[in-house]
Amino acid sequence: MNQYIDIAVNLLGSSLEAQAAQVIADAAAVGVAPLILIGSELDESARCIDLCQQYPQQLYSTAGVHPHHASSWQLSSIEQQRQLCAAPAVVAVGECGLDFNRNYSTPAEQRQAFAAQLALAVELQLPVLMHERDAHDEFLAMVQEYRPQLNGALLHCFTGDIAQAEAYLALDLHLGVTGWVCDERRGQALAEAVKIIPDNRLLLETDSPYLLPRTLKPKPKSSKNLPQYLPHIAEYVAHLRHQPAEELAHRCYNNSLRFFGLE
């Protein structure tokens, strides 16, 4: 059985929380372990760390403030985040970045929180897990400023086209690919872009419970995406890249181990 690491699971603060134990077990049963839990705000990050302690070596977490929650960023936030990042289960700063699609927080608030978290990642020499939506140019400029000092930078849930992929790869970013690539309506540009991502820069994720792959057969009764579906995404990406599925799974697994320091 191939091994996989789901590098982005929204297990807490989502519809999966009530069934967390089952989600973890079902994923492990198909070779998806460990799972990287996403901390999208500081209290949630703390809860993710607590859950990781119940599942050693099965769960790891990020600790950060998503751009949707950037309005909650205060002067005290950086020290709170620094303390969270000291937990052994935390493998990356984030999720942080820019999202100008919905602007739940103002662009100015997003920039402030993102810059502070990039600086913290540099200070702690932890990798950073980032989010970008409808903010490509400004996101690129901010990351470019910090990239030389960062110990690993990942744009998770990449949904862009070849030109955007090339720009991010030029900054030596890792790119996380989700079931978005399986969507014949919205994922066509990404389906082309995944073909140019170097073997050592590609990571796989579900971003569950969001982005259920539309190519799953039989179609699940629930619309919730689950980490156990990651092998399907891997096989689909391998087909697009004309690679054996086992080879792609092996490369992405090792990429994830290296990126998050889990070797």
Report pLDDT for 34: 98
pLDDT of 103 above 90: no
pLDDT of 97 above 90: yes
CA atoms within 13 A on the CB side of 38: 26
Answer whether 250's CB lies under 8 Å from 2's CB. Answer: yes
Distance CA 167, CA 185 (A): 24
| Identity of the highest mean pLDDT range in 179-193, 211-225, 247-261 | 247-261
- The residue among 192, 203, 177, 199 whose CA lies nearest residue 244 is 199
The predicted model scores a pTM of: 0.96
Helical axes 136-146 vs 162-170, angle rounded to 10°: 10
User: Tens digits of per-residue pLDDT, 219-242?
Assistant: 898 999 999 999 999 999 999 999
DSSP secondary structure code for residue 220 in this structure: P
Q: In what order do the strands lie in the sheet with 59-63?
A: 4-9, 32-37, 59-63, 90-99, 128-133, 153-155, 174-177, 202-204
Tokens 């689950």 correspond to what residue? 226
Report pLDDT for 263: 84
Report pLDDT for 8: 98
Report pLDDT for 221: 86
Mind listing the domains of the chain with CATH numbers?
Answer: 4-259 (3.20.20.140)
